[in-house]
């Protein structure tokens, strides 16, 4: 992984990794194929015209908005806030480099990122 040193997380095919992989693949299909995600996908395509793949890293539904974290290609974490009720409200889009995002992640979140990055790299081959 480009953001990992040699002594850091390596994928081993563990049950945890396999579970993350299944969830990422399902959510990836949903993002690109499910009409309920069309608004989010349009925001991603407009904000990241170079996007060739994306994976959900996190989603926090709040009362009036949804907060998403997505891995875009293999190098960017997109932070997106969408108003849940006012579709005319401009989405808030921010980014963090992958290198900055992974600093201080828990072991479980490091595994999650390694799996998402592996899937994204395969998509881009």
SS3 87: coil
Mean pLDDT for 27-44 is 95
pLDDT of 35 > 60? The answer is yes
| Residue bearing tokens 């309920």 | 36
Question: Domain map of the chain by residue range?
Answer: 15-124
Average pLDDT, the chain: 90
Task: Please state the rounded mean pLDDT for residues 37-61.
Answer: 96
Closest to 56 (Cα-Cα) out of 29, 38, 34: 29
Q: Please tell me the distance from the alpha carbon of residue 67 to that of residue 60, in angstroms, as a whole number.
A: 5
pLDDT digits (tens, 9 = 90+) for 61-114: 999 999 999 999 999 999 999 999 998 999 999 999 988 998 889 989 999 999
């Amino acid at each position: 992984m480009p953001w990992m040193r040699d002594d850091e997380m390596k994928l081993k095919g563990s049950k945890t990794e396999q579970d993350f992989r299944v969830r990422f693949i399902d959510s990836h299909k949903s993002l690109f194929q499910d009409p309920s995600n069309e608004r989010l996908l349009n925001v991603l395509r407009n904000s990241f015209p170079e996007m060739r793949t994306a994976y959900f890293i996190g989603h926090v539904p709040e009362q009036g908005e949804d907060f998403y974290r997505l891995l875009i290609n293999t190098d960017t974490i997109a932070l997106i806030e969408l108003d849940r009720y006012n579709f005319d409200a401009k989405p808030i889009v921010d980014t963090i480099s992958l290198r900055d995002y992974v600093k201080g992640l828990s072991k479980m979140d490091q595994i999650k990122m390694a799996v998402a990055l592996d899937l994204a790299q395969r998509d881009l081959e």
